[in-house]
Chains A and B, each alone.
Chain A
């Protein structure tokens, strides 16, 4: 006999072994929504008064997060960055379509779109080749560009909070990698809530306690379209290696991933692990001379060093995203 939902006895669609909890297709999405609200309050992420910008990629996590925040009645708009990744799959084009279709179905939200190639003259693959940052893997330069542009756009458009769809597997994989390499600086900065600083939005990860299989299940059960294909550049990515490693542990010891990450958070907060390191880092950060974002580099931040001056000195409006809002089936657009 297949497992039954603990709440109603119908067939379960997921068994969360770390919680000893199996739920059906009706009760599981409701549980995700309730738990997200609980985490938002428990970790003081934001309130209904805040304007939230959700970084949406067309993947399961960010699409599910956008859906949950809208169901909870938050003022949550989407930001999509076109990265110019094709990989024979038209990856970026497909993900943009998915994000736009979702926005069309939710007239209470707005979608901001910025195409990196149109804005900066190069998409991620070309940028990675030219700068050689990340030793041939575009993931490093992609992360740098996304973080900078999400920060910039949230600030310029007046959002208080920037929300990303990072899940527990993402967080545990990064924690594992940084611990094995004793990257103390990175460990000190890893947290589900990064407070606002120097005019920049607070960064939050409302899904940080959900396993990746839970966000995927939520998207499927809710009928949310997402891009199933993996980013063509992620093959062999370090994150995937650590996630698979942790899932081997999880198979044998249910709850191991959750315990690993939550124990880390507890050590940070209750035992002040890395407190002195955080103080040192706070002192060594200063604003980039061009964009004003915090950096440890002497003049320009790593993002501004990627591009020639003629690109960065273009008029301000060249860097503004397109904003779409779909009301009564018609799109309004502004820049």
Chain B
């Protein structure tokens, strides 16, 4: 089992130490938590959730752009 937490965002991935909250992880990765939702092992969680060894944290970007007429 992986001792770290696997973090993925689209095609990027990182490994970080366990024990931190999703919000702390995003801040360490220099990502603004306002721009992402956090999914832990397939379940949507609030960013105060603490990640454990072996967890997979998937970040889902929420910003859409262009001329958003629909």
Chain A residues engaging chain B, CB cutoff 8 angstroms: 1-3, 11-15, 22, 25, 55-57, 59-62, 81, 139-140, 142-143, 146-147, 150, 164-166, 169-170, 212-213, 216-217, 220-221, 228, 230-231, 233-234, 237, 239-240, 243-244, 247-248, 250-251
Contact = CB atoms under 8 A, between A and B. Distances in A.
Contacts of A13: 44-46
B55 interface: no
Contacts, number: 108
Nearest to B49: A2
A170 B68 contact: yes
B37 interface: yes
A165 B63 contact: no
Majority SS at the chain B contact face: loop
B70 A59 contact: yes
B1 interface: no
B32 interface: yes
Interface residues of B, number: 25
Contacts of A166: 68
Interface string B4-27: 000000000000000000000000
B44 A237 contact: no
A240 B65 contact: yes
Majority SS at the chain A contact face: helix
B67 A244 contact: no
Given A216-B60, A247-B32, A139 B46 contact: no
Given A61-B64, A81-B70, A228-B60, A25 B44 contact: yes
A233 B68 CA distance: 12
Contacts of B48: 1-3, 12, 15
Contacts of B65: 139, 230-231, 234, 237, 239-240, 243
A170 B70 CA distance: 11
23 contacts: A11-B46, A25-B44, A59-B68, A59-B70, A139-B65, A143-B67, A147-B69, A150-B70, A164-B70, A213-B37, A216-B62, A217-B37, A220-B37, A228-B60, A230-B61, A231-B65, A234-B64, A240-B65, A243-B63, A247-B35, A248-B34, A250-B34, A251-B32
B34 A247 contact: yes
A211 to B, nearest CB: 8
Contacts of B34: 213, 247-248, 250-251
Nearest to A248: B32
Interface of B: 32-37, 39, 44-50, 60-70
A233 B55 CA distance: 34
A244 B70 contact: no
A94 B69 CA distance: 18
Given A2-B50, A22-B46, A251-B34, A140 B64 contact: no
A231 B62 CA distance: 13
Contact of A142 (B35, B39, B66): B66
A103 to B, nearest CB: 15
B37 A55 contact: no
Contact of B66 (A139, A150, A164): A139
A206 to B, nearest CB: 14
B68 to A, nearest CB: 5
Nearest to A17: B34
Contacts of A25: 44
B62 A212 contact: yes
Contact of B46 (A15, A146, A240): A15
Contacts of A81: 70
Given A14-B46, A25-B44, A60 B64 contact: yes
A282 B63 CA distance: 34
A47 B5 CA distance: 49
Nearest to B61: A230
